[in-house]
Structure 1
Amino acid sequence: MAEIPIIWILGGPGCGKGTQCAKIVEKYGFTHLSSGDLLRNEVASGSDKGRKLQAVMASGGLVSNDEVLSLLNDAIVRAKGSSKGFLIDGYPREKNQGIEFELRVAPADLALYFECSEDTMVQRIMARAAASSVKRDDDNEKTIRARLLTFRQNTNAILECYEPKTLTINAERDVDDIFLEVVQAIDCVLKKKQQNAAQC
């Protein structure tokens, strides 16, 4: 795994992570793994595990780290041979998840934190929900505010713990301006990886 970059993508719901991840995938050909999508896919499969996960998610709670980590690890193992890099989107959601991930899967090379005000995120999620033909149970203002509160409390601890490898990006700007900053950070990681590979 050492030669394949692993990048954590952090930021509250509605901060624009998905948009930036799509642009990164297009430019670099990385594998985008969203913990939320992996969970929703499991729920959609109708399995026993999926039904249990749905109950937790509908209440705005956090699914156990063990469940999320095993879904992520399986997805990484499946894609490892063909992937140029991994974007781990929406994970870790708390400090211990980061520690567990680095122990069980691999150390992250970079954490990109898309910083956005709570009001902006609520507006964006409500607009996304209104425009979507698929209604998500968790896209209502009460659940969104609950998610944001949990997110803020946990994220501060993650940012402190992983400060040396975290880049905080102002996510209230134009999409392309944000992406320029993302590209600089990823190019820097790739350069370091190549230098390390050359030294081996």
Structure 2
Amino acid sequence: MSRRVRSLSKLISVAKPCLLNQADAGIVSQTRSPTINFVLGGPGVGKGTQCARIAETYGFTHLSVGDLLRKDISSNSVYGDMILETITKGKIVSSEVTVILLKSAIESSQTDRFLIDGFPRSEENRVAYEQLIGIEPEVVLFFDCNEEEMMKRVLHRNQGRVDDNIDTTKERLRVFEAYSLPVIRYYSQKGKLHKINATGTEDEIFKRLRPIFAT
């Protein structure tokens, strides 16, 4: 285990009693057991578009970690400035902050079936999730696409995001390869990974996804 992961585990072991409100037991001891699915892939690979279609067709709640972070920036929270600086540089926001936001979104939802888009992006993310939430994902989708196509999609989607520029996207691609591929290998070894060819039209890609959720 790396020094960074050991440090995070130590931090979480200290913070966990504070984060889990004993008066409101939260996810860990709810009678309902949420269904969690992770959706991974590089920037511009089409995760958000396909998650929206999966959610509408099969009744999931789509939680985009990127959207949660951007919402936190706009709310001027205590984490906002740090999150903005981090994503503007194409880096990964600290795991404890990301997982706290994700945990809050799951607990406040009226549903119990989730597509978590863009998470976990690193081994630290995964360890923090297991420590603070601990619900094993049923399915992990990995949208696979070549770097040239991802770059083209990002630069043409015009969503007004601070990280949609050439320099930041190149850094995000580098970070994805360095930090997310170990997570993908981890879930592949556990037999949970579904690798999706993310080239083609939206309909063609969705057709490849249907057998996973239609069972």
TM-score range, shorter chain: 0.7 to 0.9
The answer on whether the counterparts of 2:55 and 2:61 sit within 8 Å (CA) in structure 1 is yes
The list of structure 1 runs, each at least 4 consecutive aligned residues, that deviate by more than 4 angstroms after superposition, is none
How far did 1:169 drift?
Answer: 0.5
Aligned with 1:42 (options 58, 72, 93): 72
In structure 1, the residue matched to 2:165 is: 140
Counterpart in the other structure of 1:176: 203
Residue correspondence of structure 1 range 23-34 to structure 2 within 5 A: 23-34=53-64
What is the match of residue 158 of structure 1? 183
Shift of 1:137: 2.0
User: In the alignment, which residue of structure 1 is the partner of 2:38?
Assistant: 8
Instruction: Answer yes or no: is the 8 Å Cα contact 2:89–2:171 preserved in 1.
Output: no
Determine the C-alpha separation between the residues in 2 that align with 1:182 and 1:5: 18
Q: Provide the rounded CA distance (Å) in 2 between the counterparts of 1:10 and 1:140.
A: 21
Say if 2:54 and 2:60, in contact at 8 Å, map to a contact too: yes
Unpaired runs of at least 5, structure 1: 189-200
Is 1:83 paired with 2:111?
yes
Q: TM-score, normalised by structure 1?
A: 0.85
Match of 2:94 in 1: 64
Q: 1:102 to 1:183 in 2, by over 3 A?
A: farther
Q: List gaps (5 residues or longer) in structure 2.
A: 1-26
Q: 2:103 maps to which residue?
A: 73
**In structure 2, C-alpha distance between the alignment counterparts of 1:21 and 1:114, rounded to whole Å:** 11
- Asked whether 1:110 is paired with 2:139, we answer yes
Number of residue pairs matched by the alignment: 182
SS in 2 for 1:48: coil
CA contact (8 A) 1:29 1:84 kept: no
The structure carrying a bigger helix percent of its residues is 1
Instruction: Give the C-alpha shift of residue 83 in structure 1.
Output: 1.2
TM-score, structure 2 as length reference: 0.79
1:122 pairs with 2:151: yes
